[in-house]
């Protein structure tokens, strides 16, 4: 069965970077697009970007364009997202999703 | 950017009674291939969203048939024919014709 397993919770200081991983099982990563979506406390879901895991093409939301990088390692069947220049407003749960299946989410807390 | 507006924002339902949620899009979600890219998700407390309906009216694998989706163009509806206790959570619509955007969510609880 399809599963997306994400990396564990992180606590970061303002200005730092964070890297998320999303390991896919039950299917071949490169056959699908992988999205990253975040959910700040009490807020709606917010799309951050996607990667075509087959050819590596990426597209980012304008809200995160300058701070986010999405990559993948097809040999590890894993997608990654890096978010830079963190502020307290980046405190949120971050999800990877194939639209039909979602990872369990990674909580990032940004605090000095 | 496409904006999705859901109504109502909250709903309290007696078990066994129906419920309905509306999602209105700022642009048509009908693509040139004839498909309409509107999804419905349920996010239960402490869990990631789970797919209920894709492309307006198609139930995802394992989704009970009490859930149904309808609509076209810019106006869409999710209906639950008989609400059960396990249906509590926040329901989101999402469009996938232009990247991804989500509605603000509709919280459903049991009376």
User: Which residue's structure tokens are 């249906």?
Assistant: B87
Interface of A with B in 31-70 (CB under 8 A): 35, 37, 44-47, 50, 59, 61
Instruction: Answer yes or no: are the C-beta atoms of B48 and B42 closer than 8 Å.
Output: no
Distance CA A27, CA B12 (A): 39
Burial class (CB in 10 A: 0-12, 13-18, 19+), A10: middle
Distance CA B109, CA A41 (A): 19
How would residue B85 be classed by pLDDT, with cut points 50, 70 and 90? very high
Please indicate whether residue A42 or residue B19 has the higher confidence score (pLDDT): B19
**Tens digits of residue pLDDT in A39-89:** 999 889 999 999 999 999 999 999 998 999 999 999 999 999 999 999 999
pLDDT of A42 reads 87
Q: Is A97 on the interface with B (CB under 8 A)?
A: yes
Which one of B50, B54, B99 has the shortest CB-CB distance to A47? B99
Q: Which of A7, A21, A14 is nearest to A90 (CA)?
A: A14
- pLDDT(B56) > 90: yes
How would residue A107 be classed by pLDDT, with cut points 50, 70 and 90? very high
The pair of three-digit structure tokens given for residue A83, joined into one six-digit string: 């978010």
Interacting residues of A55 by C-beta distance below 8 A, sequence separation 6+: none
The pair of three-digit structure tokens given for residue B50, joined into one six-digit string: 């789970």
Q: Which of B18, B23, B38, B22 is nearest to B80 (CA)?
A: B18
Q: Is A99 on the interface with B (CB under 8 A)?
A: yes
How would residue B44 be classed by pLDDT, with cut points 50, 70 and 90? very high
Q: Is B60 on the interface with A (CB under 8 A)?
A: yes
């Amino acid at each position: 069965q399809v599963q997306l397993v994400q990396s564990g919770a992180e606590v970061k200081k303002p200005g730092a970077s964070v890297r998320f991983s999303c390991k896919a099982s039950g299917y071949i990563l490169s056959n699908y697009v992988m999205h990253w979506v975040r959910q700040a406390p009490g807020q709606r879901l917010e799309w951050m970007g996607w990667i075509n895991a087959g050819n590596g093409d990426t597209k980012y939301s304008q809200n995160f364009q300058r701070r986010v990088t999405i990559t993948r390692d097809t040999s590890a069947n894993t997608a990654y997202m890096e978010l830079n220049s963190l502020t307290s407003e980046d405190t949120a749960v971050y999800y990877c999703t194939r639209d039909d299946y979602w990872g369990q989410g990674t909580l990032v807390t940004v605090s000095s | 950017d496409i904006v999705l507006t859901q109504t109502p924002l909250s709903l309290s339902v007696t078990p066994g009674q129906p419920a309905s949620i509306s999602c209105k899009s700022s642009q048509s979600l009908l693509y040139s291939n004839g498909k309409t890219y509107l999804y419905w998700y349920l996010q239960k407390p402490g869990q990631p969203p789970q797919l209920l309906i894709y492309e307006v009216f198609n139930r995802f694998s394992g989704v009970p048939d009490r859930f149904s989706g309808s609509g076209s163009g810019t106006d869409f509806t999710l209906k639950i024919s008989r609400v059960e206790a396990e249906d509590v959570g926040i329901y989101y619509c999402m469009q996938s014709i232009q990247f991804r955007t989500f509605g603000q969510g509709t919280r459903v609880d049991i009376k």
